[in-house]
Amino acid sequence: MTRKLSRLIGGAVFAAGCLVASPGAAVAQTADKPASLSGTWNMSLIGDHVIPVALVLEQNGAALRGTFILMGKDFPLTGEVAGGKITLTGKGPAFGRAGGDHNAGVAAGAGAKTQTQTATIQPGALADMTIVGDLNADGGMAGDIKIKMPEGTGSIKWSAERLKERKVPASQAAASEAVNLNGTWKMAIVEAQLQLDAEFHQDGAKVTGVLKSDHLGDLQVEGTYASGVLSFVATGSAGGQDVRIEFSGKSTAAGALGGDLVSQMGPMTWTAERIKK
């Protein structure tokens, strides 16, 4: 699969997720147990392309409760952690193609190379889902998801990193206060491999503008920018459904932008660079 096609698929998946209802509130991360898995994780389903998922976990001793958030829908999970291994089970989305071919490896793009590009997530279809994985030395997780449906079984690799606040050193923030946002920017939503054209208009601390993409159309921007800190909401409509993405971030001494966002697809990260004429 070419890099361009991978970006198109990632963007389409992200756009589809933004056209459904917002997920429920995430479970707050506990701070009293540093080794706890409680909190929000950026999860990647790894096939011929990467599908971003939000995984929210709550740990109580060895017991785990969680929410698998994909395309704006919450799927509750239960399980346990023991000896550095986690297991979660529940009903989840059925990965595969609309035709009933769900052999092992088909899930979300994994499987026979001649058929992977038609792999989809079937709307409304549920399957028995088992997530197994190992905790890594660097604090991440990785493993396999097993899907069982009446039509057959499937599996897909996954990895996850804990959602972390992006911090810019105070020296960089101070140096970037004079950055003027007026103009056009090339924006990237990293996990979704989605490119957008951004046009910002700054009037003091007030920021307005528009984000444009082939998948989401034109999204109107309203927000604020002060002391190097940018916060804005992008809203619009695509396919008759409302779209809302909340951005927060900072400018750097180099004049670039970057930070975190929350959408119906869960938490992700974004970057932006000014387009030079």
Least confident interval from 36-40, 104-108, 182-186, 257-261: 104-108
Amino acid 95: pLDDT? 65
Amino acid 201: pLDDT? 93
Q: Position 163: which residue type?
A: L
The C-alpha torsion from 199 through 201 and 202 to 203, rounded to 10°, is -170
Q: Is the pLDDT of residue 14 over 80?
A: no
82's enclosing H/E stretch is strand 73-82
Confidence label for 184 from pLDDT (cuts 50, 70 and 90): very high
Bigger pLDDT: 41 or 20? 41
Q: Is the pLDDT of residue 20 over 70?
A: no
Bigger pLDDT: 237 or 58? 58
Amino acid 115: pLDDT? 32
Closest CA to 204 of 224, 233, 231: 224
Q: Two tokens at 19?
A: 């056209």
Residues of the chain above pLDDT 70, percent: 70
Over residues 168-177, mean pLDDT: 46
Confidence label for 178 from pLDDT (cuts 50, 70 and 90): low
Q: Which domains does the chain have, with CATH numbers?
A: 3-162 (2.40.128.120), 170-274 (2.40.128)
Amino acid 15: pLDDT? 61
Amino acid 167: pLDDT? 53
Q: Two tokens at 151?
A: 């039509």
Confidence label for 104 from pLDDT (cuts 50, 70 and 90): very low
Amino acid 109: pLDDT? 39
In degrees rounded to 5, what are phi and psi of residue 14? -60, -45
Tens of pLDDT, residue by residue over 63-92, are 999 999 876 678 999 999 998 999 999 998
> What is the rounded average pLDDT for all residues in the chain?
75
What's the predicted TM-score (pTM) here? Answer: 0.47
CA pseudo-torsion sign 168, 172, 177, 182: negative
CA pseudo-torsion sign 99, 104, 107, 111: negative
Are residues 159 and 47 in contact, defined by beta-carbon separation less than 8 angstroms? Answer: no
13's enclosing H/E stretch is helix 3-17
Tens of pLDDT, residue by residue over 33-64, are 446 899 888 888 887 777 778 888 999 999 99
Helix residue spans in 58-140 (DSSP H): none
Over residues 198-216, mean pLDDT: 90
- Give whichever of 28-42, 86-100, 111-125, 244-258 has the largest mean pLDDT: 244-258
Confidence label for 187 from pLDDT (cuts 50, 70 and 90): very high
Tens of pLDDT, residue by residue over 133-148, are 999 988 899 999 998 8
